[in-house]
Amino acid sequence: MSNSILSAQAVSANGLHSNGVASVTPLPVGLGARTAVVMERKVAHDTTRRSEAPMFLDTAHTVLPIEFQGKEVMFEAHAYEDDSVSYQAMALVHKREGAKLEAPLVRVHSGCVTGDIFHSLRCDCYQQLQKALEKVVESSHGIIIYLPHHEGRGIGLVNKMKAYAAQDRGLDTVDANLSIGAPVDARDYELAVKILKDLGSTEVRLMTNNPMKVDALRDLGITVVEQVPHVVQASRFNQRYLATKRERMAHKL
């Protein structure tokens, strides 16, 4: 890789040169128009950040129609980037026109590739996400915050699969994590709380069975006016997992 490409990437990563001055570096041959757009956006944003100190490194929003239970449903979709590209999240907001806005029904959902995308039966993530979508769509005001970096309760996909392999040898979900040197739960909720504040929703009805999630949000300044149980049907593959969440992680199941 040539020096010119390295220096261009250093600029595009944070939008600023080491002296803190935003400037536009000519693109090296081989970096296309898309990179140029990204660089301009980062430079412009960081210039703003110094004066107004926004909560996020970057944000975007649009309308997102989804197919849900055979119907088209429209959401406001907000994307957020905190301090790195690996620390991003999405919020889907559903508001019914004309309805009196109360504390929104909120689900803070930890991303799960195996569950959410492939409908794995080893956990309950897919069912919980579907249930959350159903309740949010039925509500006059609901929000789903999706946190991809919470994969495997925050230990990442590879560690989660290692922990699954440890469970195959007889350990439960808590001891499996510990056996591979990973924390039982590495999730933090700072980004979720910043998103709720950005959306003007500091009072929420939180769909969760996890009292620690309620405490985490409260500690960061969110008023949880109601903890809404979010129990789903167990399968023969996740019975032990759910029992461990109930018995060793204080989930209300």
Phi and psi of 188, rounded to 5°?
-125, 155
Under the criterion CB under 5 A, does residue 253 sit at the interface with Zn ion? no
Tell which positions 124-143 bind Zn ion, by CB under 5 A: 125
| Of 130 and 140, CB closest to Zn ion | 130
Residue 89 binds to Zn ion (criterion: CB under 5 A): no
> With CB under 5 A as the contact rule, which of the stretches 117-125, 132-140, 193-201, 205-213 interacts with Zn ion?
117-125
Beta-strand runs (E) in the chain: 58-68, 71-81, 88-95, 105-110, 141-147, 203-207, 223-228
Q: How far is the CB of 93 from Zn ion (least distance, A)?
A: 23
Binding-site size, Zn ion (CB under 5 A): 4
Using rule CB under 5 A, residue 112 touches Zn ion = yes
CA diameter of the chain: 59
Window contacting Zn ion (CB under 5 A); options: 36-44, 106-114, 158-166, 215-223: 106-114
Q: Which is nearer to Zn ion, 56 or 241 (CB)?
A: 241
Mark the segment that binds Zn ion (CB under 5 A) among 43-51, 107-115, 141-149, 215-223.
Answer: 107-115
Nearest alpha-carbon partner for 144 in 153, 152, 132: 132
User: Is 198 designated active site?
Assistant: no
Residue 116 annotated as catalytic: no
Least distance to Zn ion, CB of residue 133, Å? 16
Closest distance of CB 194 from Zn ion, Å: 24
Per-residue CA distances from 7 to 1, 12, 27, 40, 100 (Å): 11, 9, 10, 15, 52
The DSSP code for 28 is: P
Give 82 or 151: the residue with its C-beta nearer to Zn ion: 151
- 3-class DSSP state of 87: coil
Token pair for 253: 């199941």
* The two structure tokens encoding residue 136: 């949010």
In the bound complex, what is the minimum distance in angstroms from residue 219's beta carbon to Zn ion?
25
Tokens 């769509």 belong to: 137
Residue 140 in tokens = 């006059």
Shortest separation between residue 191's beta carbon and Zn ion, angstroms: 19
CA 233 to chain centre: 24
- Sequence-ordered list of residues with C-beta below 8 angstroms from that of 180, at least 6 positions apart, any chain: 159, 162, 163, 166
**Whose Cβ is closer to Zn ion: residue 57's or residue 125's?**
125
Rounded distance between C-alpha atoms, residue 61 and residue 46, angstroms: 19
Catalytic residue among 107, 153, 187, 205: 187
List the structure tokens of 233: 């049907």
Nearer to Zn ion, 16 or 155 (CB): 155
Exactly one of 96, 185, 218, 248 is catalytic; which is it?
A: 185
List active site positions: 185, 187
Binding site for Zn ion (CB under 5 A): 112, 115, 123, 125
